[in-house]
Amino acid sequence: MAGNIGTSLVSTMVRGASGIHCRPAARKPAQLLQLFDIENCPYCRLVREVFTELDLDAEIYPCPKEGDRFRPEVVERGGKAQFPYLVDPNTGVEMYESLDIVAYLYETYAGRELPLKWKLGGLQTLGSMLASAPRMNEGMRSQPSIDPEELLELYSFESSPYARPVRELLCSLQLPYILRSCGRTRAGEWVLPPIRERLNLDPESELENRRRLQAAEGRVSIPYLFDPNTGEGLFESADILGYLRNTYAT
């Protein structure tokens, strides 16, 4: 697990603050966005970073290579197995192409101009490709699994090195889940959870998902997985990975 987190830290450092810092969108979708996604795909990462930046939740439908659960739906909807693929049930828009999706999310929900970093989209794509390299094929190929009745919920922000292995396993197992975005908006949220607890720091977040997690579990630590199929709620990457393998892998 230590080596797994090590390369995940490298991926996080490559992307800097992308997928961590949050400035919430001016309005939120009434219905959850849907993203057909491959976790370590550099193009998909860009869209998930914007979910964090704009504090947008979404239903994630993993489409790893050789996956048979959701890839056929993308082909049926759009005509080809290309990812990411965004479905917005609020507007009826369905689209490929990561940078087009990024621009759409800012135009439709952010209420502000597309930031310069995204106008220089080619540089972001290159950076995301470099971030994918340390993880190689993690989360890219399907593994057999039990299909849950209800979507799992993952509290995460895109560049969390601890949440990344969880998302990779969810992708490999083709387990759909609701991504609950938990970016950082306050200085105290950049302090590691054990240090926050030791110093009795309790930054009152402006983000609903962080407040909800604090109220439910008494602390905010990423990742956090809730499984409505079993009632289990878990922090800590290693514990979540073990739970997913024991519960859903076949």
For residue range 70-113, what is the model confidence (pLDDT) as tens digits? 999 999 999 999 999 999 999 999 999 999 999 999 999 999 99
1 pLDDT tier (thresholds 50, 70, 90):
low
pLDDT in tens, 203-246: 577 899 999 999 999 888 999 999 999 999 999 999 999 999 99
Q: Show the domain range for 57.
A: 2-248
pLDDT in tens, 168-208: 999 999 999 999 999 998 655 556 666 556 655 565 778 99
% of the chain residues with pLDDT over 90: 82
The count of domains in the chain is: 1
Mean predicted lDDT score pLDDT of the chain: 92
Tokens of 32: 């959850």
Task: Extract long-range pairs of 120-127: CB within 8 Å, 24+ residues apart.
Answer: 121/46, 124/18, 124/46, 124/99, 125/42, 125/43, 125/46, 125/98, 125/99, 127/14, 127/15, 127/18
